[in-house]
Structure 1
Amino acid sequence: MPAITVDDLTVLDRLPAPGLGDQPRAVWQVTTAPEGLEGEGFPVRRAFAGIDLAQLDPFIMMDQMGEVDYAPGEPKGTPWHPHRGFETVTYIIDGVFDHQDSHGGGGSITNGDTQWMTAGAGILHIEAPPEWLVEKGGLFHGIQLWVNLPRDAKLNDPKYQDLRSGEVALVASSDAGALVRVIAGEVSGHHGPGSTFTPMTLVHATIEPGARLDLPWNVDFNALVYVLNGSGSVGTTEQPIHTGQAAVLGSGDYVTVTADGRQESRSPAMDVIVVGGRPIREPLAWAGPFVMNTKAEVMQAYEDFQRGHFGHIPA
């Protein structure tokens, strides 16, 4: 798993171990992601399917894209499509993905890079593998997270952020058994490069076999753990969890994830996404590519899209 890594974790700053009085977050629910196809036919796992939207708030959904090793001619993306009212966060672990939108944003991301698109009032965009990758084939693996926007930001101007892997904050667990990549938000004073309307933190952690990660977490945020690959347990009660499963955690000062001593041969360590944010606690009306507060606002989004108010597909 390329992403961004460090050969010697002992050279990194360490996260503090839980202190006296710090409370671990209990496990409320573990779910298993159903598998399906998205866009033009690339495989996804619906990471947060089965979790109540009230527990996900401020998030809407997350897809694990791949992990798949494409043969020549197989790589696929999405056609041009609209969005309004939220942000899409696309983090690529393996492979290459191109982005282009109707407001001039775009670029190519690869191992450990992130594209952060604020749809706001409305945008058209396309995500696809580059032509050379379609011809050659190769690995493809990443996630796309949908982050809700509060009512007063839903019609903000669209925005695009190109976050390179070298900008990600890297820190080790207290015993250097886990590498923590802070993509957005803050963990124990280490800040990720992503700029967010909704206060949140997004982390990708690699935990070595038998190691335990005690991850300090903002007490005002919810917390969700999703296993990209490998197996282990979550919480101090050691609730088992494995590839394609998500855990919803309760309140507390830190998140605990422990990797099993033996991992599957294709992934020598356990990789997890940990995400959390301050709940917005506003009404949610979600239909397809539009996430608003009322059904009338969703219908207005469809009307505005059909009238060409989201911009035009570049030549």
Structure 2
Amino acid sequence: MSLRNIQAIVLASLKDMDGVPVWQGFPTAHQDRIDPFLLLHHLQMKVPAYVSPRHAGVPPHPHRGFSPVTFVYKGGVHHRDSRGNNNTVYEGGTQWLNAGMGIIHSERPPADIQEIGGEQEMIQLWVNVPIAHKMDQPSYFSLDADATPTVKTEDGLATIRVVSGDILGTKGAIPTVTPVNTAMISAKAGAKLAWDFPRDHQAFLYILDGALKFTSGEEVGPWNTVVFKQDGEGIQFEVSRDASLFFASGLPIHEKVVAHGPYVMHTETAILEAMRDFQVGKMGILIEE
């Protein structure tokens, strides 16, 4: 397996999302989108005990034209949407929403968030879909930690939860519109990890916590996105401090992207149509109980 070289190491920028601080891995001033991946947010917060979970998190909002995906590292998320889905996913789980032609959803802390420690840590990844699928019917997939296919290294120092695609011969449980590999990784110091994936994929590794050392000598700490060149079939690194990681690779779509807020389409006209369709109720209605 020929190893990929590092193209960039990008420190996330801290953003205010309606009063909620999040680390934005990309895009930033120094890193554009990584086709087919549009955006990465890393949320770390403590839900105040005096705030009801019903009023915390993200209230109902629309999406069209891509897949917003949430990977839960701590706490949980209660998802409800205008297609009738109502589900809670906890630590180690994933919720994968294909917004398609349009859907309204909310993402709140679970009702028992204080009983499980009150902490929230999640990655939200926006995955683009081809123009031909932007107006598909919406779909929702949830995956609990126990149902997530998992690989453990022989030394027992690392665990890789494969959500989608194929990593180390283990296939993820969530289907994707285009080829996309995603994994949540926890590893102890001293773990040595390596895996391959298609040469035509774009790939990155985001470090939530801990530190890694690559064969080229770079040592990388938290809140950094390591973007790889398309010059090999795999990656390899050693964990120098206990780490929580997120990995993704995907086949580039190579199509025009026009994004505005919660909509990702291919023309300005399509964005205006999305805004109009939301206003007139074509994306449905979500009334939270």
Q: Give the secondary structure class of the aligned counterpart of 1:155.
A: coil
Q: Whole-Å Cα distance in 1 between the matches of residues 13 and 265 of structure 2?
A: 25
Q: Whole-Å Cα distance in 2 between the matches of residues 130 and 211 of structure 1?
A: 33
Residue 223 of structure 2 corresponds to 244
Give the superposition deviation at 1:208: 1.7
Give the superposition deviation at 1:107: 0.4
Residue 42 of structure 1 corresponds to 20
Are 1:177 and 1:213, in contact at CA under 8 Å, matched by a contact in 2?
no
Q: Any residues of structure 2 matched to 1:149-298 within 5 Å, and which?
A: 149-173=129-153, 175-234=155-214, 236-251=215-230, 252-260=232-240, 263=241, 269-298=242-271
Give the superposition deviation at 1:233: 2.2
Q: Whole-Å Cα distance in 2 between the matches of residues 104 and 218 of structure 1?
A: 37
Are 1:86 and 1:119, in contact at CA under 8 Å, matched by a contact in 2?
yes
Letter in 2 for 1:272: L
Q: Normalising by structure 2, what TM-score?
A: 0.92
Q: Give the secondary structure class of the aligned counterpart of 1:281.
A: coil
Letter in 1 for 2:2: Q
Percent of pairs with identical residues: 32
Are 1:73 and 1:135, in contact at CA under 8 Å, matched by a contact in 2?
no
Unaligned runs of 5+ in 2: none
Compute the RMSD of aligned alpha carbons: 1.8
Residue 32 of structure 1 corresponds to 11
Q: Normalising by structure 1, what TM-score?
A: 0.85
Give the superposition deviation at 1:36: 2.6
Unaligned runs of 5+ in 1: 1-21, 264-268
| Alpha-carbon spacing, 1:169–1:133, altered in 2? closer, same or farther (3 Å) | closer
Q: Whole-Å Cα distance in 1 between the matches of residues 26 and 239 of structure 2?
A: 21
Are 1:124 and 1:311, in contact at CA under 8 Å, matched by a contact in 2?
yes
Letter in 1 for 2:147: E
Give the superposition deviation at 1:32: 0.5
Are 1:106 and 1:160, in contact at CA under 8 Å, matched by a contact in 2?
no
Are 2:113 and 2:119, in contact at CA under 8 Å, matched by a contact in 1?
no
Give the superposition deviation at 1:238: 2.5
Give the superposition deviation at 1:178: 2.1
Residue 73 of structure 1 corresponds to 50
Q: Whole-Å Cα distance in 1 between the matches of residues 86 and 244 of structure 2?
A: 28
Q: Whole-Å Cα distance in 1 between the matches of residues 63 and 220 of structure 2?
A: 33
Give the superposition deviation at 1:175: 4.8
Q: Give the secondary structure class of the aligned counterpart of 1:230.
A: strand
| Alpha-carbon spacing, 1:136–1:222, altered in 2? closer, same or farther (3 Å) | closer
Are 1:34 and 1:49, in contact at CA under 8 Å, matched by a contact in 2?
no
Q: Any residues of structure 2 matched to 1:85-100 within 5 Å, and which?
A: 85-100=65-80
Q: Whole-Å Cα distance in 2 between the matches of residues 71 and 101 of structure 1?
A: 25
Q: Give the secondary structure class of the aligned counterpart of 1:133.
A: coil
Counterpart pick for 2:105 among 115, 125, 128: 125
| Alpha-carbon spacing, 1:184–1:42, altered in 2? closer, same or farther (3 Å) | same
Give the superposition deviation at 1:94: 1.0
Residue 36 of structure 2 corresponds to 58
Q: Give the secondary structure class of the aligned counterpart of 2:132.
A: helix
Q: Whole-Å Cα distance in 1 between the matches of residues 5 and 101 of structure 2?
A: 38
Give the superposition deviation at 1:109: 0.8
Q: Whole-Å Cα distance in 2 between the matches of residues 165 and 136 of structure 1?
A: 15
Q: Whole-Å Cα distance in 2 between the matches of residues 249 and 136 of structure 1?
A: 36
Q: Which is worse superposed, 102-111 or 165-174?
A: 165-174
Give the superposition deviation at 1:311: 0.5
Residue 122 of structure 2 corresponds to 142
Give the superposition deviation at 1:42: 2.9
Are 2:162 and 2:170, in contact at CA under 8 Å, matched by a contact in 1?
yes
Q: Whole-Å Cα distance in 2 between the matches of residues 120 and 63 of structure 1?
A: 21
Aligned length: 282
Give a deviation string over 1:81-114, Cα, whole Å, max 9, x none. 1000001111111112101000111201101111
Q: Whole-Å Cα distance in 2 between the matches of residues 278 and 216 of structure 1?
A: 14
